[in-house]
Amino acid sequence: MRNFVLFLLVLFVIAAFLRVDFFFTVVYLLFVVYLLSRIWTRRTLENLRVCRCFTDHAFFGDQVTVDLSVHNADWLPVPWLQVHEMLPVELVTPPFHRRVVSIGPRERRDFRYTLYCRRRGYYPVGPLTLHTGDLLGVVRDRMRQAEPDHLTVYPRIVSLQELGLPTRSPFVALPARSPLFEDPARVMGVRDYQRGDSPRRIHWTATASAGRLLVKQYQPAIARETLICLDLNEEGYGQRQRYTATELAIVIAASIANHIIVREGLPAGLTTEAQDPSLDDAGQVRPVRFYLPPRSERAHLMSMLEVLARVQISSSTTPFVDLLRRESVNLSWGSTLVLITGRESGDLFDTTVYLRRAGFVVALILAQPAYPSAELQRRADLLGVNIHRVWKDQDLEEWR
């Protein structure tokens, strides 16, 4: 009752004017009820403890179970409590979880709901709002008990056998004229043991057959490094298909990274400039440059997927071609650059030619509904630049 205090004052004035003892008794009784109800409600709110438990990282298509616990740490019962949990609309419908319960002294009430990871992203789970009051409805209070936690959903990964990138074997070890190092997984023959050879190189089967010490000869090779360059500048995508194209570009980047590191066991890296909602500054999300150097560990792949899960398209003032030229300085000669964008342009093609002449293997992937123009394709064929167009999942699956 919002105007209960005003009601008590009016009732007191009437009792004073009529000088009826019974009216004073009623006023005093209602005042005591109001005071006790307010103290009771405030005390129970202060002694409510909330715990939210769930796995804060999930893959696309997973179901995340959230366990929510409300504990009354006081000896006073809570007559009624409304639990209202705000949830992201992308993960559950309706976008909230609401229950009304009563909690006894020292009692705990548990709730459970499920989030469906149908879209990659960085989502807040919560905040949790608690409403409570007294049985008579004299006092109604509100408290925001639990701050939101966050759930990271990794992007979808398409299983690929071959990506159809440039013909210079970008997904295997490249033979080297001068042996920079030898690949133990590529045995090309045996030779006689020489002083100083490591015992680990001894080929025991061939030694037993020949009757003399023979060691393995490995094929000299260099390991290919791949840097995935993802364009998330809104200028790189058409306005009508901007959301679809950028989401597809992120799927392409995640699929290529997974293929290189998991299937091939070779190093891969990522660079992009985009908005990250987890790094907001006073409510303002600003473009951030990400650079993860090429590595081959599974933990590095998870770091790349973490970035790809959070990034959003931005209105960055740094053109994608400038980002390519800047990041190529950090790579060794012969590395592969996978350029993923949503729109072909003359500046982008000129930068691709520049990178090829600088000694890099370049693959250009366009996430757009239209095929590259005939003129661009002709120039690319003359200069040895491979261009791939992807618009649907079937296009990814056809790279086999």
pLDDT of residue 221: 54
pLDDT of residue 58: 96
Q: Output b/e per residue, 302-327; b: 16+ Cβ within 10 A.
A: eebbbbbbbbebbebeebbbebbeeb
- The C-alpha atoms of residue 91 and residue 120 are separated, in whole angstroms, by 10
* Angle at which helices 346-357 and 320-327 cross, to 10°: 10
- The C-alpha atoms of residue 40 and residue 139 are separated, in whole angstroms, by 10
What is the model's pTM?
0.76
Could you give phi then psi for residue 160, rounded to 5 degrees? -125, 140
H or E segment to which residue 145 belongs: strand 140-146
Considering only the top CATH level, what class is 226-397?
Answer: alpha beta
What residue ranges in 211-315 does DSSP mark as E strands? 214-222, 226-230, 268-275, 287-295
pLDDT of residue 92: 92
pLDDT of residue 25: 75
| Whether 44 contacts 131, CB under 8 Å | no
pLDDT of residue 273: 92
pLDDT of residue 162: 41
- Distance in Å from the first CA to the final CA of the chain: 70
pLDDT of residue 176: 40
pLDDT of residue 232: 93
Q: How far is CA 373 from the centre of its chain?
A: 34
pLDDT of residue 15: 67
| Whether 221 contacts 173, CB under 8 Å | yes
Q: Is 2.40.37.10 the CATH number for 46-153?
A: no
pLDDT in tens, the chain (400 residues): 556 666 666 766 776 677 767 777 777 777 777 777 777 777 888 889 999 999 999 999 999 999 999 999 888 888 888 899 999 999 998 898 999 999 999 999 999 999 999 999 999 998 999 888 776 666 666 677 778 999 999 999 887 654 433 333 344 444 444 344 455 666 778 888 877 677 888 888 889 888 899 988 775 555 678 899 999 998 888 888 888 999 999 999 998 999 889 888 888 999 999 988 877 655 566 788 899 999 889 999 999 999 999 999 988 767 898 889 888 887 877 788 999 999 888 888 889 888 888 888 888 888 888 877 787 778 777 776 778 888 776 555 544 3
Domain ranges of the chain: 46-153, 178-222, 226-397
| Whether 52 contacts 146, CB under 8 Å | yes
pLDDT of residue 168: 36
pLDDT of residue 52: 94
